[in-house]
């Protein structure tokens, strides 16, 4: 089993992804997915290109995902494509502020392919991109059985590595 980390949009998220990788790699393969725009190969995120690249990394194996921010949206696009290969999913910092109708549909469609016991959402109480209560309401409207864990922070950082390990091994 491998775990693929889908970080947030900004290249500052690379450090978070590497910390997650370090905390998880003791017991299985962990891959940090680097967005194409981080390397200057593109000026912005192309969800279609990233979906193809991530799918290639998964291959035919079963896989866990740890996704943060825009990585959660990319994962929702991947869920229908990889539904039989996804083992567990950790979503962090789902950005619902200013979410377009198409983004809402992306989450709604993606959750159709995930069982509630496969997924945990970590959301900071006062995350500036979406606070816990907004995300609880948003995800609850899609699937009320998904576990949404509130964390007492007021930023968009998700350093809950021990919680990630517990969920992936539980």
Closest CA relative to residue 66, chosen from 124, 16, 129, 132 = 16
Question: How large is the average pLDDT for residues 99-115?
Answer: 89
Q: Range of 134's domain?
A: 2-169
Question: Residue 144 sits in a domain of what CATH number?
Answer: 3.40.50.1820
How confident is the model over 53-75, as pLDDT tens digits?
999 999 999 999 999 999 999 99
Q: How far apart are the first and last CA of the chain?
A: 14
Query: Taking 90 as the threshold, does the pLDDT of residue 20 lie above it?
Result: yes
Alpha carbon distance 34, 104 (integer Å): 24
Q: How many domains does the chain have?
A: 1
User: Can you give the pTM of this predicted structure?
Assistant: 0.94
How confident is the model over 125-166, as pLDDT tens digits?
999 999 999 999 999 999 999 999 999 999 999 999 999 999
């Amino acid at each position: 089993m491998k775990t693929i980390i889908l970080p947030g949009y900004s290249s500052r998220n690379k450090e978070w992804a590497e910390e997650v990788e370090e905390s998880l790699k003791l017991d299985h393969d962990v891959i940090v997915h680097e967005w194409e725009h981080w390397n200057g190969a593109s000026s912005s995120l192309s969800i279609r290109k990233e979906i193809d690249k991530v799918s290639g990394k998964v291959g035919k194996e079963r896989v866990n995902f740890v996704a943060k921010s825009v990585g959660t949206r990319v994962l929702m696009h991947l869920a229908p494509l990889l539904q039989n290969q996804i083992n567990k999913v950790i979503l962090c910092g789902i950005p619902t502020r200013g979410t377009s109708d198409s983004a809402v549909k992306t989450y709604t469609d993606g959750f159709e392919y995930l069982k509630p016991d496969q997924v945990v959402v970590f959301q900071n109480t006062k995350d500036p991109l979406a606070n816990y209560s907004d995300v609880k309401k948003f995800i609850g409207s899609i699937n009320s059985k998904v576990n949404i864990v509130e964390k007492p922070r007021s930023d968009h950082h998700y350093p809950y590595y021990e919680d990630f390990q517990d969920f992936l091994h539980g």
